[in-house]
Every structure is written in structure tokens, then in C-alpha cells.
Structure 1
């Protein structure tokens, strides 16, 4: 009896984990979190479905890892504290006109209330937005002021989805600067 010879891929945990992340990022971007199954991810990554659980714990855990690699407002936070309201205003004005560059972040805006990933969304908001803004602020109530500024940023995304994009003017940026200045003061 001849044994069938198949060429197996060498076991490489890091490479398999990366393939799963890459496949998940693509599928979540294309179809949204709700529509993607663990089986779809494993198939696209040419990996065993059990490896999703082994490396990430669950689909939600995998989504959390994908989120960790997405851009945040960190670039906006760089620079002097006095210029922070203007940088936030310019970022917010850009968001009035366009969706986030990242398809994952666009998907995240729609998923904020999904019970399966609500804690991931909360953690992402905390470490990627709230903590960095609060870290830029002096004085009391830094966290409350950071929450208020974050509410403005999140609200702009909700307005854009509800009312459609709006091309911001210089006057919009000036008004948003005044709002963020008041929030952060």
C-alpha cells in the first residue's frame, strides 16, 4: 500500500497567527464583524479553525487584536497641549467629510453596541482615545474633560452616518476649536 505523500506547510506559530490576523482584517473590512465567521477566517488563512481559539480565544478576541493594529487619534495628540484643541478640531472637521480611513474603524462605528464586542469597543476607546487625551490635560477633572471631547468626536461620526457627509469650512474648524477648547479647559 503506497502512502500518499503530501507536502505539509511547516509549523510556524507566528506565521499562522499573522495569516489569521491578515485574513480577519480583510474579511472584517469587507463584510463587517457580524457577517464574518471563524470558519471563514480560518479558511481564508488556510489554517485550522481551532487555531483561532488557541491564538485569540474567540472571534471577539481576534477582532480585538485586529483593532489594536488600527490607527487612532494618537497622531493628533502629538505636539504641545495648547495646540490640542485646534488639532482635535481639524481631525473632527475631516471626519465630518470623510469616513475613517480604516475599514475596520468604519465597521467599529456601526458595532459599538454589539454585546459580543462591547467590552473591546470600550477598551479601545479608553486606551486609544480617552487616556491619551486625558494625559495631555492639566488640572482637575482631566478624565471628565477628555470624555466630553471624545463625545464630540464620536458624535461627529454618528452625525455623518445619519445626515451624510458635510464639507467643513474654515469657520467650522474655528467653531470646533472653540468647542474643544471649552471641553478641555
Structure 2
């Protein structure tokens, strides 16, 4: 009898008794990671914590996601984007972006995961994920909604305006926007998006 094959912890016993279902295990890992990242932030969560919470073997995190950063990237895929703001009448896009930016002056991101992403931005793995998230969730969809030349460059400029507002909120704290703020922001987004 191979003594190493005998489960030694409660989690291993539970895992040995559970039927193998790759997708169910993958989903449990995603759910556990989302909850832990939202509660503790990226840098304070370990792969061991995620595996324990999901009642899964720690090696499965690497098998299914490649790394903790890969798992975090997968969690980000399920988070809200500004697509709902971009979609709609193109003539009103600058105004919708301005209203959202004004709202962001006063509020943290709606998602606890996105807040975690903001606060973990110094981590080298997170920088890569942030860059990819910014491209796929903001710049590329915004560029796709624009007509005319240099759509990608115009989308990057509008995104820079969003990033500046987020940085200001983190540095100075939230401030309630005024109607004049929305008017100014609308004019700024119109300038950014103009062909």
C-alpha cells in the first residue's frame, strides 16, 4: 500500500470523495478568488488561501490559470466595464462619459475587485493585468464606437482623462461634482473624441 496516496487532511479527504469535475472545480476556484481578492486585495491573498477556500488542490490553480496573476486576470473578465456607457447614441457619448466621470469623482469603482485592482497597482503582475484590462475593457471598445481617423488615439486620450479623475479621487478624496463639472467634462470629452 502506498502511504502517500492516503488523504491526510480534511480538505484532501473531501477532495478525494468529490467526483472529478474540471469545470466545477475551476468555478469554485474563481468564486473563492473573487471573494478573497475583494476582501483582502491581490497582494494579501495567497494561492493556498484560494485553494483552501475552494476546497481544491493548490496545484489546480496553476493547472487551470497558470498563476495567481492568471487567476486574477480571469476574475477581472467577469467584472463590469464601461460598455453600458459607450453603447447608445454616438452623439451623446461625450455627455455619458462626462456624467460617469463626474460620478467617479465622488465614488470608488462599483466593483470591490476593481477597487482592489486600483489599490494594488504597484505590484508588477498587477501592472500587466491593469494594462490589459484598460485596453480590453475601455480603450478598444471606445475606439470601436468612434468614427473617423485615429479612433484608437482619441480613445486613449479620453481614457487618460478617466485615469486622471481616478488618481485625483485617490489623492484628494471624493468630492461631489457640480453641474459645472459635468459641463466642463463634457467639453473635454468632446475635444478628446473629436476626429
With structure 1 as the length reference, what TM-score do the two structures score? 0.94
Structure 1 residue 51: Cα displacement: 0.4
Output the CA distance in 1 between the equivalents of 2:156 and 2:187: 16
* Backbone CA RMSD of aligned residues: 1.5
2:70 aligns with 61
- Verify: 1:181 aligned to 2:190, yes or no: yes
Pairing of 1:36-51 with structure 2 (within 5 A): 36-51=45-60
2:139 aligns with 130
2:130 aligns with 121
Which of 95, 99, 105 matches 1:90? 99
Structure 1 residue 114: Cα displacement: 1.9
Output the CA distance in 2 between the equivalents of 1:128 and 1:156: 17
Structure 1 residue 112: Cα displacement: 3.0
1:157 aligns with 166
Output the CA distance in 2 between the equivalents of 1:23 and 1:144: 38
> In proportion to residue count, which structure has more helix?
2
Output the CA distance in 2 between the equivalents of 1:80 and 1:157: 25
With structure 2 as the length reference, what TM-score do the two structures score? 0.89
- Structure 2 unaligned segments of length 5 or more: list them: 1-5, 8-12
- Verify: 1:145 aligned to 2:154, yes or no: yes
Output the CA distance in 2 between the equivalents of 1:59 and 1:129: 23
Structure 1 residue 117: Cα displacement: 2.7
Structure 1 residue 92: Cα displacement: 0.4
Give a deviation string over 1:84-112, Cα, whole Å, max 9, x none. Answer: 00000011011001101101111111233
Output the CA distance in 2 between the equivalents of 1:113 and 1:134: 27
- Verify: 1:23 aligned to 2:29, yes or no: no
Structure 1 residue 137: Cα displacement: 1.2
How many pairs align? 182
- Structure 1 unaligned segments of length 5 or more: list them: none
Output the CA distance in 2 between the equivalents of 1:70 and 1:148: 23
Is the CA contact 2:117–2:126 (under 8 Å) kept in the aligned structure 1? no
Structure 1 residue 180: Cα displacement: 0.2
